[in-house]
Amino acid sequence: MSQTRTVLVHGFTQSGAVWNSLRNKLTFPGEISTPDLPGHGERSDVAASLNESGDILGREYGPASFVGYSLGARVCLHTALRMPQQVERLVLCSGTPGIETQEERDERVGLDRALAMRLLDIGVPAFLDEWLALPLFAGVPHDATARKARETNTAAGLASSLRCAGTGTQTPLWDRLSTLTMPVLVVTGANDKKFTEIGERTARAIGANAAHVVVQNAGHSVPLEQPDLFAAVLNDFLR
């Protein structure tokens, strides 16, 4: 099957521009697209659930190989499950198929709503100061945070993303993973123990068509922390 397009899908508070520095490291064939997710970048005024976001990607960019990071991985997983004919290959980096208990999901919804209110109260620059200071992003070099691209987002857009597509809103997808038939690569950072455990379980649940790669000296933000290693993993899988 000839590969015509690869779609790189960013995480929360980012935009498609976050991939700019990685693009020249990618050597696999075909066109590369870097869309903005709903609530981000040029889609800041679009409010969409994970299902709706996944459908937007599938309709506008498929058939293609989809590479998603964090929020982007969750959206791409929805695309693959809802529109499998549009997904030739799938890369899930630091993503989750969902929180399994209703109690934990409700708690996460509450936390994300409070985070959205905080964002609207203090604005994007101050929110990014707090967001990028979280332990989850401790491994991202200061010059690799893509801060300028993040600051193009609006408080209203990011707040809508938290409310509409936060992890707590996600219906758990674990029992549907085995229905994926396209080649799947799960990527996590070795220093991100939580998501590496999730990644191992995700690949097992998908089956023989899935592989899990753990990138050394990387935490949650593998593409920003180890761009050369991440590019090499993508080049190998998508070539």
How far apart (Å, rounded) are the C-alpha atoms in residues 56 and 191? 32
Q: Which pairing describes strands 31-33 and 5-9: parallel, antiparallel, or unpaired?
A: parallel
On whether the CB atoms of residues 167 and 186 are closer than 8 A, the answer is no
- Edge-to-edge strand ranges of the sheet holding 64-69: 31-33, 5-9, 64-69, 87-93, 184-189, 210-215
Count the Cβ atoms, other than its own, within 10 Å of residue 235.
13
Mean pLDDT of 37-65: 97
pLDDT over 60 (residue 1): no
How far apart (Å, rounded) are the C-alpha atoms in residues 80 and 153? 27
**pLDDT attached to residue 153:** 98
Average pLDDT, the chain: 96
pLDDT over 70 (residue 101): yes
Q: What is the pLDDT of residues 104-120, one digit of tens each?
A: 999 999 999 999 999 99
What percent of the chain stands above pLDDT 90? Answer: 97
- H/E element holding 213? strand 210-215
Place of tokens 């994300």: 112
**pLDDT attached to residue 3:** 55
Q: What are the boundaries of each domain within the chain?
A: 5-238
Tokens describing residue 112: 């994300």
Count the Cβ atoms, other than its own, within 10 Å of residue 4.
12
Mean pLDDT of 12-37: 96
Tokens describing residue 144: 């690799």
209: which strand partners? Answer: none
CATH number of 5-238: 3.40.50.1820
How far apart (Å, rounded) are the C-alpha atoms in residues 235 and 154? 33
Q: What is the pLDDT of residues 120-155, one digit of tens each?
A: 999 999 999 999 999 999 999 999 999 999 999 999
Count the Cβ atoms, other than its own, within 10 Å of residue 116.
21
On whether the CB atoms of residues 168 and 106 are closer than 8 A, the answer is yes
Mean pLDDT of 96-109: 98
How far apart (Å, rounded) are the C-alpha atoms in residues 237 and 67? 11
How far apart (Å, rounded) are the C-alpha atoms in residues 89 and 233? 14
Count the Cβ atoms, other than its own, within 10 Å of residue 22.
19
